Amino acid sequence: MATKYELEVIHNGTDCGDFCIYQTYDGQMDDIRPLVWFSKTAHPGTKLNFGWEIDYSVAWSEQGDLTPGVVFKASQIQAMDPSDTSRNTVLLTCEKGAYRFGSSDNPTKAGKLGVVCDTMIAPNTVSVGVAMSGKPTHACVAAPSLKYTFAPHPRYWIAFGKFEEGEVIDVNRMTQKFEIAYPVNTYLRTIELTANNTWTNR
């Protein structure tokens, strides 16, 4: 059974707004866009709880534009296992005018996830991404005959503002963001947005 990670957020800030959880990973290519993974709205003086497991999937969306603010809405999510080279790569194809995942004979190195796009993919019409705990975390616009590789070793972040789950974000323009670290054998963290709208560990 997968280990569950939990995050408790105490909202002692000044405004009602959305708490956004998103991920980054080291070595992430510029064309792979972070998405709002979780988003919950809260009033000051309240508490939120988030939870997830380290299980991976890949996803595609009929979205050929991933500029900040666009929402990635998954049309298909397929479970994957980065450690198993027989289960860490899929083919994205278009048959009878519709996209779907299929099997691929183009393996990906253990520890990563791969999506192979065949020649039937029309440019700028579909995007592919990786998901954790059933919700997409990153995506990129797909192109025919290319393979996209994701290295899912996430760093977790929280931000406060106005967000929608699946929304493409520009992390360089994010304000009030805070990294949530989980030391070895630590699965529960508590953080606070304070009265002066800064973050602190509890």
- The Cα-based distances of 193 to 11, 49, 114, 196 in angstroms read 5, 14, 37, 8
**Per-residue pLDDT tens for 3-49?**
899 999 999 999 999 999 999 988 777 789 999 999 999 999 999 99
**Per-residue pLDDT tens for 149-179?**
998 789 999 999 999 999 999 988 887 899 9
Sequence-distant (6+) residues with CB within 8 A of 70 are 63, 167, 168
Q: Which residue has the tokens 């995506």?
A: 139
Mean pLDDT within 95-110: 93
Per DSSP, the three-state class of 134 is coil
**Per-residue pLDDT tens for 119-150?**
999 999 999 999 999 999 999 999 999 999 99
Residue 161, judged by CB atoms within 10 A of its CB (0-12, 13-18, 19+), counts as middle
pLDDT at 1 over 70: no
**Per-residue pLDDT tens for 69-94?**
999 999 999 999 999 999 999 999 99
